[in-house]
Structure formats: structure tokens, C-alpha cells
Amino acid sequence: MGTSSRQSELARYRKHIEYEDRLDAQNYMSYINFIAYLQAFSSVISNPIPISISHLIKTVRSSFEQVPDHRAPNAKISMVDALMSAFAMFSLKDSALVEFDERRKKDKNLRAIYNLKNIPSDTQMRTILDPVYPDYIKPIFKVIFNLLQQNHVLDKFVFMCAYYLVSVDGTGYFSSKKIHCSSCLERKNSKTGEITYHHQMLGAAIVHPDLKEVIPLAPEPIIKQDGETKNDCERNAAKRFFAQLRQDHPYLPIIIIEDGLSSNAPHIKELKKHDLRYILGAKEGDHAFLFDYVETAHQAGQTTDYELTKKKVIHRFRFINQVPLNASNKDVLVNFVEYWEIDGDKTLHFCWVTDFMVSKWNVFEIMRGGRARWKIENETFNTLKNQGYNFEHNYGHGQQNLSVNFALLMMLAFLVDQAQQLASPLFQAVLKKEGSRKRLWDHMRALFFVLEFSSMEDIFRALLYGYKVERVIIFGPT
Ligand SMILES: [Zn+2]
């Protein structure tokens, strides 16, 4: 694009921005009044009501009762026992199905704590869960979400006075050259022709810049779709995910936060279609037109530069509203934020595009929201991969849906753990005493394995207050 045509285009947008600025000032006053109203209101309602682990386990079990059974009505092991056993395995962080199978043979706690009647063997569990349609498991995430909402736990996550930040990203959890199922994605080596089978999912969680806990939503599997021969992709999975998100939460004020790959016109149109606000990463390499446009605007004095210092850290912003995302989609206008965090010798640099009209009074919060995106990677995927959940272990692949169902059930176990961390004072006290989740899981598993308890609360109480065991008597030769 020539400089003169860009200048005339800038002049056109400038008029628009002047109008937006006036609108912005009016919005600012309503915003201040709105904050005062919310603060007064939230002081009355926002004390979370504790939720016990027994209540969470009971909720999961009664949700599993809704999953239809594809087998004959006289099946020895019920569907709810099979699902609950897999949930228990992930909740206890067993590293393999065979470990759970060992537990099954000698562990009375499994029956008492997870309310299990007939516990399946490893083979039985795989056989029963393989044909279960993953969409039957997904609604349970909403049931736990509703529980957190009703108990005001969700109030902790309110961002920019009214919204919830939902961080979305894809991740892989299985790859093999031999093992595969009907929902596996396939990747063919162009030179050798060798096929690698893999599974991915689009994960999403409600996050907040000030909280280390997250509330995972039902993930969308990136799998080969029914009747399709081509591989599924993250963009298609995102379409299904946003449609489901709006179906599950039609009125929830949501800001989607994603990385630079998502800041493209079709994706932004999809977000708008579902009434989802956004703060999306932007990279100079992927958005040459946009960055060029902003640079020209900056030279013409049309960007706003703003800086503030907090605890010796300099936060420098440059922003401009209503700029075209790229040359081929000039109808898609975005608001652009460039940010530098300068802490001594260290400088971090980020850019975002957003549909929030950016001004000096909200740019800091927009930056905090944009930066909270990494919580889906760090607090969710990395926790599942490295902090006891064994996300990438193969618990059994199956022929149809087993691999996907196990990934969903593991995410559900993680959600229940996060719910405890947010809403159970007993769990919070034990976690504080143990110092890390990994240590807590190790000690919980040890007690679970050697002593008999009637509830998970009793295990946590034993860890918190200590316990006494009578002298060990060995049944065997000395
Ligand atoms: Zn597969």
C-alpha cells in the first residue's frame, strides 16, 4: 500500500476514533459507577461457601449415573462403577492402569471413599469405556462449574469488574508409530511414508492474573471426525468449542485469551458470532501489515504512548484503536496494544489485539488479561504433564474412544482437585502444611494404600493433625 493511500485511510479512521474517544469518556463514568455498584454488591455475596471433597466425589458419581450404558442391562459391572474407577485412578494419580489394578485387589478404601460397588479389572475398564461417546462425559464439567458458581467460588475470578478470562490452547498428549484407534490423527513422513498417530485436544480454563488456580472447562478433542477422512485441526475444534461454550454458558461475560495464531480474521469473526470478547496475541512476523500500519500511525502522532512505574518496574504502552487486522480483511477492525515491561536490565515485549476500546484507564488491565494466557500452558497442561497426573502416559488406547475418554476423565480429576484448592479450607490447610501438591499426593497415596479410612476428609485430617498406628504385627516367620 502506498504512503498517500495509507495516510488517507488513517485520516478516515481518525474521525472514527475521535468519535470513539468521546464515547469512551462517557463509558468511563458509567464504568466508575459500575465498579462502585459491584464492589458494594460483591462485599455481600462474594464469600465463597466451602465445598467438601466428599460432596465433589458424590457430585461426580451422580453425574456419571446419567451416562447411558451401551451394554445389556444385566452387565456385572455398572457403567457408573467403571467411570468412577477411572476417575479414582486419576484422582489418586496412579501412574498406570496396572497400578490401579493392584490397588483394586487389596484396597478397601476405594469402595468406601469413591462409593464403588464392583471395581473393574484393567481389561474390563478398557472394554467398558472404549465405546462410550466422549460427549456424554463432557457435561460433568458444567455440573462442577455450576457448583462453584452457586457457592460463589467463581466470584474470585471476576476480571475487569464483569468478565471471566477463558484461556484456550491446543496440546498433544499421545503419539505412536504403532498404537492407533479410529479417532487418531495421522501424520505421514513425506520422505519415508511412515505414519505417526497422535491425539490432541483444545483445552480451556477460566483463569485470573492474581490466582494460581484455574477452572478447566470441558476440553474439545482434536480427533478424526465421524465420516471424515481428513485430519481435524485446532481451528475446527475451536469452532465446536465456542459453540458448546455458548450453549453451556449463554449469558456468561467471557473474554477469550489466546496466542498469536488465533488473531486472524475468520477466528475473530467466529468469536464475535458467539458474543465472546477477546485479547489475542499478535506477532510482527505474522502481522506485517498491522505492525506497519501502527508504525505509520505512530509517526503521524496517532498512537497513544503511556507509561507508569510500579514497584520499580516500568510498564510502557503504545496503543491505537480501530485499525485493520490485515490487508485482505479491512472490515475486521481491532484495537492494538504494544507493551514493554522494563525491570532493570530485563525487558519483556508483548503485543495484543482486542475488541476492548483501549484507553489509559484500562490498558494496564488489558495487559494483565493478555498475559494470563500462559496459565493454560503452565498451570494446566504442565501441571497435568509434570505434577503427578501423568497426562502423557498411555493408560490404554482402545479401538474407538478410550484414549479421548481417559484424557477427559483426567482433566475432570484435575478440575475436582482445583475445586478443592479453591473451596475446601481443609484441603487448603493440608496443602499449606505439605508445601507442594506433589508431596500432598504422595502422602495421600501412601495413607490410602496402607490404612483404612471412611472418607477422603479423614485422610486429609490425618495428614493435617497427625495420626497414631498401633504396633505392626507381621503374619509370617520372623
Ligand atoms: Zn487414537
DSSP of 213-224: --EEPPPEEE-P
CA distance 71 to 312: 65
Q: What is the pLDDT of residue 408?
A: 96
Centroid of chain to Cα 360: 30
Nearest in space to 64 (alpha carbons), one of 140, 121, 156, 146: 140
CA distance 157 to 215: 9
277 Cα: distance to centroid of ligand 1 (angstroms): 34
Distance 133 CA to ligand 1 centre (A): 14
**Dist CA 389 CA 387 (whole Å):** 6
* CA pair distance 362, 132, nearest whole angstrom: 46
Q: 186 C-alpha vs ligand 1 centroid, how far in Å?
A: 9
d(C-alpha 478, C-alpha 476), whole Å: 6
pLDDT at position 377: 86
pLDDT at position 104 is 82
Report yes or no: 7 and 293 within 8 Å, Cβ to Cβ.
no
Q: Please compute Rg for the chain using Cα positions.
A: 26
Cβ atoms 431, 90 nearer than 8 A: no
Q: Name 458's Cβ contacts closer than 8 Å, sequence gap at least 6.
A: none
- Residue 30's pLDDT is what? 60
**pLDDT at site 31:** 60
Find out whether 90 and 60 touch, Cβ atoms under 8 Å. Answer: no
**How many Å lie between the centroid of ligand 1 and the Cα of residue 175?**
9
Residue-level pLDDT at 187: 87
Q: How many A from CA of 247 to the centre of ligand 1?
A: 28
pLDDT-flagged residues of the chain (< 50): 1, 43-44
Cα(228) to centroid of ligand 1, in Å?
Answer: 15
Tell me the CA–centroid distance for residue 180 and ligand 1, in Å. 4
Q: Per DSSP, what are the bridge partners of residue 198?
A: 175, 185
Question: What would the pLDDT profile of 237-276 be if each residue is shown by its tens digit?
Answer: 999 999 999 999 999 999 999 999 999 999 999 999 999 9
Grid cell at residue 318? 503504545
On the CB side of 450, how many CA atoms lie within 13 Å of its CA? 11
Alpha helices in 130-263 (DSSP H): 139-150, 234-248
Query: Is the domain covering 3-45+153-386 a CATH 3.90.350 domain?
Result: yes
In the chain, % helix, strand, coil (3-state, to 5) comes to: 50, 20, 35
pLDDT digits (tens, 9 = 90+) for 137-188: 999 999 999 999 999 999 999 998 889 999 999 998 888 899 988 888 888 8
Measure 320 CA to ligand 1 centroid, in angstroms: 46
430 close to 463: Cβ distance less than 8 angstroms: yes
Q: Can you give the residue ranges of every domain in the chain?
A: 3-45+153-386, 53-132+399-465
Strand-pair category, 254-258 with 277-281: parallel
Instruction: Please tell me the distance between residue 398's alpha carbon and the centre of ligand 1 in angstroms.
Output: 7
Ligand 1 centre distance from Cα of residue 394 (Å): 11
Provide the pLDDT for residue 46: 62
